[in-house]
Structures are given as structure tokens and as C-alpha cells.
């Protein structure tokens, strides 16, 4: 069992036997940043991973680099996404690079293949080589390169912890998360750039700020978010890819959301003025839809299309390789009220 600061979130049965249990954290904050619901310790420190991307994209917009280089709104959404290398993702990346004069060879990650199996199969059929542009974080890296150059740094150094572009990103992250920069723990992400760890409560606060943009204290970042967040709803396919949660959930105009590796997820609810963050301690991401749907049920949020989508993403039934039901997953947490 994990540390007792976690809560029991999901029980996974095979037949009638409890086979697995998934522990983690859930935090819901109001528009003042106050914790109103929780499961597990709201102060537990976790890495943002790719849930940080909608926030990390804001410096590009704040410095008006989209305007400077004539980037389309659709192209800029890729800065917030973890794309799967579909044709429209790669075309947008190439356009960004060409318009802004960036060199794909300066991307720090190794060449790879599309994350979507069908897209990779198409690549193989066409005889195309591996490419850095296929990496799911290449949109974020392009944003970092643009910010680094605009701040006066060497583009080739954009990935370093002490790069001026990374310092601007850290400032933005801390402003939106309402947490002191000097207290942030920094690691290195899977894609080779710095990754930032905050109390999970503050990840929820950041998503509250993305949803309730008028609560962002910094004028420039507030204006950037006002421009940027609506683009996510116009072009949600750029957030992940065809049929995937991070794209589908942003079809709901009341939600701004993004997940990250090792099962961290941030959600902002606009009309309700709420921010939500969750982390599954064992890193299981398959169970996201079950957890999110149960959070929404317990806090009273319901959108028919979003609910159907979450249920379609994971019904809670486990099937084997023959599509035979062999078990089920049950949400077992009860959110603690703090009011």
C-alpha cells in the first residue's frame, strides 16, 4: 500500500476477486483557490508532467509571438497538446517551424514515430523515416524555442534548466499556480526539458485560473489566457488526437483540461468556477474517465455529451482479448467536503 496520504480511488475486480487497488489524490478548489473537496492530501507534491502544457503555452501568446510569425490559432493549440503524430499535427508543426524560422534539428529529443498506431502504419507504408516532429511533446518544445529566442537566449539551449525561456515558463507556471517559484521542485521530463512539481492543490488552482480567467492576477497573462483558451475549444483535436480523452473532453466549452504522464490530470470548470486536479499514484491512465466521471457526479457537474464520452472511453467493464467481460472497475472514493 502507498503512503497514508493517498486515498483509495479505484478497486479493480477480476471475476469476484479484488485484483488491484489504485490510490491517489483528488483536489477541487473554488474561485478563491480554497480547497472545497479532497481525497488524499491536498498538499501532496506531484509533477505536472504534460498537464502543464496549456500553461507553458501562455508565454508565446503573452509575447505576441503568434502574431509576430503569423501562426494560425489552430497551430498555436499544438503548444498545449500532447499530439499523436497524425498528419494534421505534423503539418501544423512544419508550418510553425517554417514561419518562425526554427530548425527541427534543434529539438532536443531523439527522432521517433507517431504515437497513434494508424499514423505510424501510414508512415511505414509511405517509407518515411523517424522524425523529431512525431514526438508528442514537439509542440511544447516549439513553444519553448520561440520563448527562449524572444527572451534573448540561444535557441539550442532552450531545454536547459537555467535557460531564460525556461525561467519565463517557471514564472508563468508559478503565477497561474499561485505558488512561490523558489519552492518549486524541478526534475527532467521524459522529453528532456525541465518538469515542475507543485502541491496538487496548486495544480487545481492553475486550472481554476484557466477556467476563471478573470482571477489571473497578472494582467499580461490574463490577456494571453483570454485569447488562448477559446482556441483549445475551437481546435481540440490538436490537444491529443482522434478519439482520445484530452481532445474529446475539450469539446465541452465549459471545460478546459489536460492530462500528463504518470496519471496527473487538471480540469477547470468555467460556470462552476472550479479547478480540479487528480493524480493516480501508480501512474495508471486508463482509469482517468472513471475517476473524472465520479468526481463530476459527486460535485454535481453534468453535461450529457461529456458524460457519454467518458462512459465510452471506459465503461468500467474489463474485457479480455476475446471481448468477453471478465471483471469491473469501481470508483470507491468519497470526496471530503471542506465547507
Q: Is 287 within 8 Å of 280 (Cβ atoms)?
A: yes
Mean of pLDDT values over 260-277: 98
Q: Quick one: what percent of the chain has pLDDT higher than 90?
A: 99
- Does the pLDDT value for residue 1 go beyond 60? no
- Domains contained in the chain, CATH given: 7-337 (3.40.710)
Spatial neighbors of 80 by CB under 8 A, at least 6 apart, are 53, 54, 56, 57, 139, 140, 228, 232, 238, 239, 258
Alpha-carbon distance 114 to 135, whole Å? Answer: 7
In this predicted model, what pLDDT tens digit does every residue of 18-43 receive, in sequence order? 999 999 999 999 999 999 999 999 99
In this predicted model, what pLDDT tens digit does every residue of 162-172 receive, in sequence order? 999 999 999 99
In this predicted model, what pLDDT tens digit does every residue of 280-325 receive, in sequence order? 999 999 999 999 999 999 999 999 999 999 999 999 999 999 999 9
In this predicted model, what pLDDT tens digit does every residue of 197-206 receive, in sequence order? 999 999 999 9
Q: Name the band, by pLDDT with cuts 50, 70 and 90, for residue 3.
A: low
Q: Is 228 left (phi over 0), alpha (psi -120 to 50) or beta?
A: alpha
Does this model's pTM top 0.95? Answer: yes
Amino acid at each position: 500500500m502507498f503512503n497514508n496520504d493517498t486515498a483509495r480511488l479505484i478497486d479493480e475486480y477480476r471475476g469476484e476477486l479484488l485484483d488491484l487497488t489504485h490510490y491517489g489524490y483528488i483536489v477541487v478548489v473554488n474561485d478563491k483557490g480554497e480547497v472545497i473537496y479532497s481525497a488524499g492530501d491536498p498538499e501532496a507534491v506531484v509533477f505536472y508532467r504534460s498537464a502543464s502544457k496549456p500553461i507553458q503555452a501562455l508565454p508565446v501568446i503573452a509575447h505576441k509571438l503568434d502574431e509576430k510569425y503569423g501562426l494560425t490559432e489552430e497551430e498555436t493549440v499544438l503548444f498545449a497538446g500532447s499530439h499523436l503524430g497524425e498528419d494534421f499535427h505534423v503539418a501544423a508543426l512544419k508550418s510553425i517551424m517554417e514561419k518562425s524560422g526554427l530548425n527541427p534539428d534543434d529539438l532536443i529529443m531523439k527522432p521517433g514515430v507517431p504515437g497513434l498506431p494508424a499514423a505510424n502504419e501510414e508512415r511505414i507504408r509511405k517509407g518515411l523515416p523517424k522524425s523529431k516532429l512525431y514526438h508528442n511533446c514537439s509542440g511544447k518544445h516549439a513553444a519553448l524555442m520561440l520563448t527562449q529566442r524572444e527572451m534573448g537566449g540561444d535557441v539550442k539551449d532552450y531545454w536547459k534548466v537555467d535557460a531564460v525561456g525556461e525561467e519565463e515558463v517557471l514564472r508563468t507556471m508559478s503565477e497561474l499556480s499561485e505558488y512561490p517559484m523558489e519552492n518549486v521542485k524541478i526534475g527532467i521530463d521524459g522529453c528532456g526539458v525541465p518538469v515542475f512539481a507543485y502541491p496538487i492543490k496548486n495544480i487545481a488552482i492553475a486550472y481554476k485560473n484557466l477556467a476563471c480567467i478573470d482571477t489571473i492576477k497578472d494582467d499580461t497573462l490574463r490577456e494571453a489566457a483570454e485569447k488562448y483558451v477559446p482556441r483549445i475549444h475551437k481546435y481540440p483535436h490538436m490537444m491529443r488526437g482522434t478519439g482520445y480523452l484530452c481532445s474529446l473532453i475539450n469539446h465541452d466549452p465549459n471545460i478546459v483540461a489536460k492530462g500528463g504522464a504518470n496519471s496527473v490530470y487538471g480540469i477547470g470548470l468555467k460556470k462552476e468556477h472550479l479547478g480540479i486536479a487528480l493524480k493516480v499514484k501508480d501512474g495508471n491512465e486508463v482509469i482517468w474517465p472513471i475517476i473524472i466521471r465520479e468526481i463530476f457526479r459527486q460535485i454535481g457537474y453534468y453535461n450529457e455529451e461529456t458524460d457519454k464520452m467518458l462512459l465510452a472511453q471506459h465503461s468500467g467493464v474489463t474485457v479480455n482479448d476475446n471481448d468477453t467481460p471478465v471483471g469491473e472497475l469501481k470508483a470507491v472514493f468519497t470526496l471530503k467536503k471542506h465547507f
